[in-house]
Amino acid sequence: MSGEPMRPTFHFTPARNWMNDPNGLVWYDGEYHLFFQYNPLGSAWGNMSWGHAVSRDLTTWEELPVALEHTPTEAVFSGSVVVDRANTSGLGSDGTPAMVAVYTSHDLITGHQGQSVAWSTDKGRTWTRHPKNPVLEIGSTDFRDPKVSWYAEGGYWVMAVALSTERVVRLYRSDDLVAWTHLSDFGPAGSVEGIWECPDLFPLAVDGDPTHTRWMLVVSVQVGGPAGGSGTQYFVGDFDGTTFTADPVPGADPGGASWVDFGADYYAAVSFNDEPHGRRLVLAWMSNWDYGREVPTRPYRGAMSAARSYELRTRRDQLVLAQAPVVEGLAAQAQRNTSTEVVDGVHALPDSWRGSSAVLTVELDPGTASRCGLHVRVGDGERTVVGYDTAERTLYVDRTLSGDTGFHPDFRAVHSAPLDLDEGDRLALEIHIDTTSVEVYADGGRVVITDLVFPSPTSDRIAVFAEGGAAHLHSLTRTPVTRG
Smallest gap from Cβ 70 to ligand FRU, in A, equals: 11
Type of residue at 402: S
SS3 296: coil
Residue 74 makes contact with ligand FRU by CB under 6 A = no
Closest approach of ligand FRU to the CB of residue 300, in Å: 16
Quote the least distance from Cβ 78 to ligand FRU, whole Å.
3
Residue 307 backbone phi and psi in degrees, to 5: -65, 135
**Least distance in angstroms from the C-beta of 45 to ligand FRU:** 6
Between the alpha carbon of residue 261 and those of residues 46, 295, 395, 447, the distances in Å are: 27, 20, 12, 7
> Looking at beta carbons only, is 15 or 44 nearer to ligand FRU?
44
- SS3 per residue for 408-464: CCCCCCEEEEECCCCCCCCEEEEEEEECCEEEEEECCCCEEEEEECCCCCCCCEEEE
Total of residues contacting ligand FRU (CB under 6 A): 12
Measured at the CA of 44, the angle between CA 41 and CA 47, to 5 degrees, comes to 45
174-188 per-residue burial string, b: 16 or more CB within 10 A, e: under 16: bebbbebeebbebbe
| 8 A C-beta contact, residue 396 and residue 390 | no
Q: Which of residues 48-67 bind ligand FRU (CB under 6 A)?
A: 48
Which position among 21, 261, 290, 451 bears the catalytic label? Answer: 21
To ligand FRU, the closest distance from the beta carbon of 222 in angstroms equals 7
> Between residue 108 and residue 137, which ones bind ligand FRU under the rule CB under 6 A?
none
Residue 431 near residue 440, CB atoms below 8 Å = yes
Decide whether 143 or 215 has the Cβ nearer to ligand FRU: 143
Considering only 145, 290, 389, 430, the residue that binds ligand FRU (CB under 6 A) is 145
Question: Are 386 and 394 within 8 A, CB to CB?
Answer: no
User: Which x/- pattern, by CB under 6 A, does the window 259-278 give for ligand FRU?
Assistant: ---------x----------
410 is catalytic: no
Distance CA 176, CA 180 (A): 8
Binding-site member from 74, 84, 197, 290 for ligand FRU (CB under 6 A): 197
Nearer to ligand FRU, 144 or 478 (CB): 144
398 interacts with ligand FRU by CB under 6 A: no
Q: For ligand FRU, which residue of 99, 160, 198, 349 counts as binding (CB under 6 A)? A: 198
Q: What is the DSSP string of 73-125?
A: SEEEEEEEEEEETT-TTS-SBTTBPEEEEEEEEEETTT--EEEEEEEESSTTS
Nearer to ligand FRU, 27 or 266 (CB): 266
144 binds ligand FRU (CB under 6 A): yes
Among 77, 172, 266, 310, binds ligand FRU (CB under 6 A): 77
Q: How many CB atoms lie within 10 A of CB 145?
A: 28
Task: Decide if residue 78 touches ligand FRU (CB under 6 A).
Answer: yes
Q: How far is CA 145 from CA 44, 168, 295, in A?
A: 20, 12, 24
Residue 119, Cβ neighbours under 10 Å: how many?
22
Q: Does 102 bind ligand FRU (CB under 6 A)?
A: no
Residue placing its CB nearer to ligand FRU in the complex, 228 or 241? 228
- Quick one: DSSP state of residue 283? E
Q: How far is the CB of 402 from ligand FRU (least distance, A)?
A: 24
Q: Which residues bind ligand FRU (CB under 6 A)?
A: 20-21, 37, 48, 77-78, 104, 144-145, 197-198, 268
Name the residues annotated as catalytic. Answer: 21
